A and B are shown apart, each in its own frame.
Chain A
Amino acid sequence: MTRTPKHSVRLVLAASTALMLPALAAAQEVTIVREVDSNNYDPHRSTARAAAEVLFMLGDTLVSLEPDMQTLSDGLAHSWEVSDDGLIYTFHLKEGVTFCDGKPLTADDVVWSLSRWVDPETSSPVAWRAGDVVEIRAVDDLTVEYELSAPFSELLYQLTQSFGTIFDRDSAEALGEDFGINGFNGTGPFCWVDWAPRDRMVIERNPNYTWGPSFHDNQGPAHLERITWQIVPEESTRTVALITGQSQITQYVPAIAIEQLRATPTVEVVQSDEAFWTYFMGFKVDKDVVADPVVRQAMNLAVDQEAMAEDLFFGMVEPAFSYISQAALDWNPDLDDRLLRHDVDLANRMLDEAGWERGSDGVRARDGLELRPLAYVFAGSTWAKIAEAVQADLLQIGVGMEIQAFDATVAWSRLATQEFDMFGMSFPYISAGDALNLYFRSENTPTPNRMNWIDQMTDDLLQAGKTATDDGTRASSYGEVLEIVHDAAVWIPLYHEPMFIAHTTAMAPVVPHNIYGAGLYKGLDLRFND
């Protein structure tokens, strides 16, 4: 038989048509697109949000936090008690819990997992979140005692984070250096299938899972059979992937696309304002150019957070005047009426009265010192536009802020130096104590306390809050710290970023969780409509 050009063309057309027929989507599988991957999935060695997103699904924590970010709920422990002195926490584990490989969970696994978190050999950057541990011990197969040398009022909240994930000791030891890279045997609603770094992470349903936190509608097994976390760095590609059904869910939606997605009939966008992720610019308070509290207060007054939220983020973020969300645990409501809000005239008057005079170029100076602070920020579209907006606002009051942007990998080391006067940063938190203990303790200089905020009163109050054994003492201690740092204008708060989750309307409405920005949390309630 001879093959004519016509035959060849027909063959090519037929093959092309076959290729273009959409693949039949498997009923209970979803692809979640996200921006970046984690460096690993070891709960103690990665602080990436991308790691937390997957770890919450692969494993469980002793206790869990409800989506309101305030209420503690059961996790692997069905109940717990705290000794009167706040030094010993006793956790009672649920029965019948097994790892993905079928091995039963015992108190020894819990002890080993949590002890590894605080073990100096692990060098966990988040070991401080576990408190000052004396010993974690198994009382019996289903009871664990967690002993501290000093009370830690935040402990239960910290144990809800992905850093407190419990995993199988034998598997972790067998994997060694490859733990969280080539495998992870947890008790979560999903099990590790395959990880291709910077490309995708595939997890599948743990069919035996029935011990999910009680605040979920579904305690297990998960409705979805398989989840693929696909890395798509391009934000426009992520957006159209969702619109065209190549992805079913994402929380990495650019602000500019939210309205477009809301107008798309096949996409539902859900929002949570309790995301507790705040953007701010901090001052190195001991640098001459920003050492005067009046200057810092005036700069706070000069920045127009509402315009920033509207013009740069299309009204999709909440302008911030407080250092943490006013909905966060232990926020001090006395501060609500005292927060610095946009008032350029007042800012100019304050600087005039403090003797800062404008030069011929419009930049103020006093005793030969010009108000030209140097700000370090992260390179990339978000911080570029934020820093430029702040720069423009500050010029109105005669402050000539200079900006230097660094790629994220370089920025962290530059931000650990004393080279700059201001810096840009964003951070997730679960409570006032969580945020304040991280950023304002004297011992945390030069990083993460990049402000060089060294104040004995702050340290004493933070310690009092941390070691409080009752909610009232904790809240009042942290409330006082909030007052001190707000009055000193150590930061310029910019905006609180809400959680947006966009998903296909083929799926039941998603309730966003907010813990560490991991909006889908355990994925137990994710399901397609009937």
Chain B
Amino acid sequence: MLETILNRLLLSIPVLLGVLILGFVLVQVAPGDPARVLAGPAAPPEIVAQIRERMGLDDPMVVQFMRYMGRLMQGDLGRSLISNREVVVELGAAIGPTLELMLACLIWSIPAGISLGTLAAVWRGSLVDRAIMAFSVAGVSLPIFFICLVLIQLVGVKWQLLPFIGRGGPLWTVDGLRHIALPALSLGLIFIGPVARMTRSSVLEVLRLDHVRTARAKGLTERAVIVRHGLRNALIPVITLIGLQAGYLLGGAVVTETIFSYPGIGRLAVGAILSSDFPLTQGAILVLALAFILVNLVVDVLYALLDPRVQKK
């Protein structure tokens, strides 16, 4: 197992390097001048030129990238051009809320998706199955911003049940839970669809296998057959999917956090990009890439744990 983890970690290094290079190049070629941002709108061109020189922005891109990597190795991500705060501090403040949002989303949507998928498989062809699949297709097809706006309109404005701006505090406080409920619900709705569909097809496949027939023949209750012998074996592809989708959730979080004014890493990244805050943009890209890699690593490890054949390979 340790070898599997180490292998995966080693494979992550070139991926991370690729993301860093791509992120750096994209930020460099994007319109906007960090020296102008720093100097302010009214600064004369000579001041802007001085700042450009001081920041080394006139150097070749390769030189700038090596300098950036050198600082990165020492844990120095620079300072935000806008707030002058250390990028590490800004990222640190935003990671917690995003992790909370991910957790709040996954904690309800994974069980919900698996349950709905299992129900659809068990009642295959029935009205329940069709309703669940229609719901799943809607979750997959509807853009996240639309789901957010509908929930704000219904739950927030019409029924006035939950707040929809900002973060009320840590997840374990009542106010924190109230504020995170709608963003987590919105994000979860796009997550349930693929999980339910994958669970349904996987459970259907497993329920046809011999060992399930044997379990039934032994006289086990249908619930025990489905949960113990069907679902457990059907979960392997579902977990892979959950891992992949969790990565995409980070993308959904960018939109969700912006609409709900939730102070997470997604909103930070959008703000940094829009304000040409290049150090912060690069920091946010790094964190998002790391998160994606980490999620995939966890999925690989879980996969190996659930299916020893993977480990042997």
- Residues of chain A touching chain B, judged by Cβ–Cβ distance below 8 Å, are 18-20, 22-23, 33, 39-40, 47, 123, 125-126, 177-178, 181, 196-200, 230-234, 236-237, 240-241, 243-247, 406-410, 412-413, 416, 446-448
The listed residue with most A CB atoms (<10 A of its CB), out of B90, B93, B156, is B156
* CB neighbours of A409 from chain B (8 A): 32, 36-37, 274-276
* CB neighbours of B63 from chain A (8 A): none
Whether A22 contacts B41 by the Cβ 8 Å rule is no
* CB neighbours of A178 from chain B (8 A): 84
Q: Please, could you name 23 A-B residue pairs with CB atoms under 8 Å apart, sorted by A?
A: A19-B181, A20-B178, A22-B160, A23-B178, A181-B83, A197-B82, A199-B166, A199-B261, A230-B165, A234-B258, A234-B261, A240-B153, A240-B156, A244-B160, A246-B165, A406-B31, A408-B275, A409-B32, A410-B31, A410-B32, A410-B33, A413-B36, A447-B41
What are the interface flags for B42-79 relative to A under an 8 Å C-beta threshold, 1 for contact and 0 otherwise? Answer: 11110110000000000000000000000000000000
The residue that B152 contacts in the complex, of A230, A237, A410, with Cβ under 8 A, is A237
Q: How far is the CB of B81 from chain A (nearest CB, A)?
A: 8
Known: A237-B164, A407-B32. A447 touches B42 (CB 8 A): yes
Whether B261 contacts A233 by the Cβ 8 Å rule is yes
- The verdict on B95 contacting chain A, using a C-beta distance below 8 Å, is no
- The verdict on B237 contacting chain A, using a C-beta distance below 8 Å, is no
Whether A244 contacts B157 by the Cβ 8 Å rule is yes
The residue that B36 contacts in the complex, of A33, A197, A412, with Cβ under 8 A, is A412
* CB neighbours of B259 from chain A (8 A): 234, 237
Q: How far is the CB of A201 from chain B (nearest CB, A)?
A: 12
The residue that A19 contacts in the complex, of B33, B43, B178, B274, with Cβ under 8 A, is B178
The residue that A200 contacts in the complex, of B37, B85, B166, with Cβ under 8 A, is B166
Q: Which size class do B's interface residues fall under?
A: 35 or more
Whether B174 contacts A247 by the Cβ 8 Å rule is no
A424 to B274, CA, bound (A): 20
Whether A230 contacts B166 by the Cβ 8 Å rule is yes
* CB neighbours of B83 from chain A (8 A): 39-40, 181, 197
Q: How far is the CB of A218 from chain B (nearest CB, A)?
A: 29
- Residues of chain B touching chain A, judged by Cβ–Cβ distance below 8 Å, are 31-33, 36-37, 40-45, 47-48, 80, 82-85, 90, 93, 149, 152-153, 156-157, 160-168, 174-175, 177-178, 181, 258-261, 263, 267-268, 271, 274-276
Residue of B nearest to A247 (CB): B165
* CB neighbours of A241 from chain B (8 A): 164-165
Q: How far is the CB of A45 from chain B (nearest CB, A)?
A: 8
A245 to B260, CA, bound (A): 15
Known: A125-B43, A447-B42. A240 touches B90 (CB 8 A): no
Q: How far is the CB of A140 from chain B (nearest CB, A)?
A: 36
* CB neighbours of A408 from chain B (8 A): 275
* CB neighbours of B33 from chain A (8 A): 410, 413
Known: A23-B175, A237-B165. A231 touches B160 (CB 8 A): no
Known: A19-B174, A233-B261. A416 touches B45 (CB 8 A): yes
* CB neighbours of A230 from chain B (8 A): 165-166, 261
Residue of B nearest to A411 (CB): B41
Q: How far is the CB of A123 from chain B (nearest CB, A)?
A: 8
Whether A199 contacts B263 by the Cβ 8 Å rule is yes
The listed residue with most B CB atoms (<10 A of its CB), out of A178, A237, A241, is A237
* CB neighbours of A232 from chain B (8 A): 165-166, 261
Known: A47-B41, A241-B165. A23 touches B174 (CB 8 A): yes
Whether B162 contacts A19 by the Cβ 8 Å rule is yes
The residue that A240 contacts in the complex, of B36, B152, B275, with Cβ under 8 A, is B152
Known: A197-B90, A407-B31. A240 touches B157 (CB 8 A): yes
Whether A198 contacts B271 by the Cβ 8 Å rule is yes
Q: Which 6 A-B pairs have the closest CB atoms?
A: A199-B263, A409-B276, A412-B41, A413-B36, A20-B161, A125-B42
Since A18-B174, A23-B178, A410-B33 are in contact, a sample of 19 more A-B pairs with Cβ atoms closer than 8 Å, ordered by chain A residue number, is A23-B168, A23-B174, A23-B175, A40-B83, A125-B41, A125-B42, A196-B93, A197-B90, A198-B271, A200-B263, A231-B261, A237-B164, A237-B259, A240-B153, A240-B157, A244-B156, A413-B36, A416-B48, A447-B44
